[in-house]
């Protein structure tokens, strides 16, 4: 039986184990925030941003950010159709409407022209998603936000370590969110973070994220308003702190894995990979391929071949507007023509060259069969 090849899992060393054990033994009472603060400061320094709030999930971070902006019923928030539902769900939590627009063919990220075309008097924010580590056209998007007076929120859940024209993903927009789920380049098990550039918004979020308690009010258990509880646990932050101390190593390994896939599959005509345009540095969270329309391709057949080879298969995201909770947007032609021709490839740090060769072998054999059916 061939060994299992997973699509994602974290890189855990003795450093993470030691920090987690220390948090479990000693991270209580007056030390209950020690690793949360350590993780916060490491992330803040890495990104070069003024404010970071560690959270229990990226979804919670986005909910906090949107709530601080006053998003509510009757408001619209523009976001890409191709993303995970966590980018849209917090919009609905607040009673607002997500407006899904199309993505670009080359980057699979939100189309700036589609953003501008979708802006109405009800639009209150723009959420962009650096999908799979790929980078959005931030110059164009920030210019649109400035022109229309709209805050731009970077959903950088999948892009820690990516760099756009010298600026880290998550350090460009008015706000940003990150995920530290167990599949991500840096993990806390479950967890997220909210990045805020404005001091005034940070003060507002500091109250919202603590059940409405204002840190400037000395009364114990006194709440100024209804808030939320999305704090990251200290033990989770301990793992995250160890991971952040290894961030350059972790991102470099993701890039090595991607380059090996390109080396083995790059000769296949009309097979596209995560892009890295001039001025960008892609952290390649998830090495991804999109099969062009000249290639006979049925996603479910390739998934079946992967399973026979004991390899986990991970599909490209569906357009959110295809899903039952939302209204269909078939006008988003690139999104609707992209999802079923894309596959995420196994991308975890401990993947070996032989593992990658196994994955590539399945793809090559599949393509040979699809082009020459017997």
Strand partners, 244: none
Q: What share of the chain is helix, strand, coil (3-state, %, to 5)?
A: 40, 15, 40
* Number of Cα atoms under 13 Å in the Cβ half of residue 292: 8
Catalytic residue among 38, 168, 184, 254: 184
Specify the 3-state DSSP secondary structure of 203: helix
Backbone angles phi, psi at 281, to 5 degrees: -135, 110
Q: 17-24 — which CB contacts under 8 Å span 24+ positions?
A: 18/242, 19/238, 19/239, 19/241, 19/242, 20/235, 20/238, 20/239, 20/242, 22/238, 23/234, 23/235, 23/237, 23/238, 24/235
> From the CB of residue 108, how many other CB atoms can be counted at a distance below 10 Å?
27
Active site residue 229: no
What's the DSSP call for residue 2? Answer: P
Q: Please tell me the distance from the alpha carbon of residue 281 to that of residue 275, in angstroms, as a whole number.
A: 10
Sheet holding 271-273, edge to edge: 271-273, 288-291, 342-344, 314-315
Q: Please tell me the distance from the alpha carbon of residue 132 to that of residue 107, in angstroms, as a whole number.
A: 10
> Where in the sequence numbering do the catalytic residues fall?
184
């Amino acid at each position: 039986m061939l060994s299992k090849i997973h699509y994602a899992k974290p890189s855990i060393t003795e450093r993470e184990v030691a920090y987690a054990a220390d948090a479990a033994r000693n991270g209580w009472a007056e030390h209950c925030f020690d690793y949360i603060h350590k993780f916060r400061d490491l992330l803040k320094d890495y990104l070069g941003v003024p404010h970071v709030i560690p959270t229990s999930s990226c979804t919670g971070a986005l909910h906090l950010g949107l709530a601080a902006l006053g998003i509510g019923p009757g408001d619209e928030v523009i976001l890409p159709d191709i993303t995970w539902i966590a980018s849209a769900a917090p919009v609905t939590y607040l009673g607002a409407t997500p407006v899904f627009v199309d993505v670009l063919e080359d980057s699979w990220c939100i189309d700036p022209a589609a953003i501008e075309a979708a802006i109405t008097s009800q639009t209150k924010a723009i959420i962009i998603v650096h999908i799979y580590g790929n980078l959005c056209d931030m110059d164009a998007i920030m210019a649109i936000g400035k022109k229309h007076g709209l805050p731009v929120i970077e959903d950088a859940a999948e892009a820690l370590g990516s760099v756009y024209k010298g600026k880290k993903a998550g350090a460009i927009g008015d706000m940003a969110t990150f995920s530290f789920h167990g599949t991500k380049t840096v993990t806390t098990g479950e967890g997220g973070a909210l990045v805020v550039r404005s001091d005034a918004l940070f003060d507002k979020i500091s109250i919202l994220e603590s059940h409405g308690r204002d840190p400037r009010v000395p009364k114990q258990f006194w709440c100024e308003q209804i808030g939320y509880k999305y704090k990251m646990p200290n033990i989770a932050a301990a793992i995250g702190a160890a991971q952040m101390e290894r961030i350059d190593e972790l991102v470099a390994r993701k890039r090595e894995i991607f380059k090996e896939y390109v080396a083995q599959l790059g000769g296949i005509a009309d097979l596209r990979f995560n892009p890295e345009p001039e001025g960008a540095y892609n952290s390649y969270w998830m090495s991804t391929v999109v099969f062009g329309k000249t290639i006979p391709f049925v996603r479910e057949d390739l998934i079946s071949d992967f399973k026979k080879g004991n390899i986990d298969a991970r599909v490209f995201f569906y357009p959110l507007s295809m899903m039952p909770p939302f209204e269909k947007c078939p006008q988003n032609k690139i999104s609707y023509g992209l999802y079923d021709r894309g596959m995420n490839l196994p991308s975890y740090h401990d993947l070996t060259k032989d593992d990658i060769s196994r994955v590539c072998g399945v793809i090559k054999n599949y393509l040979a069969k699809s082009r020459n059916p017997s």
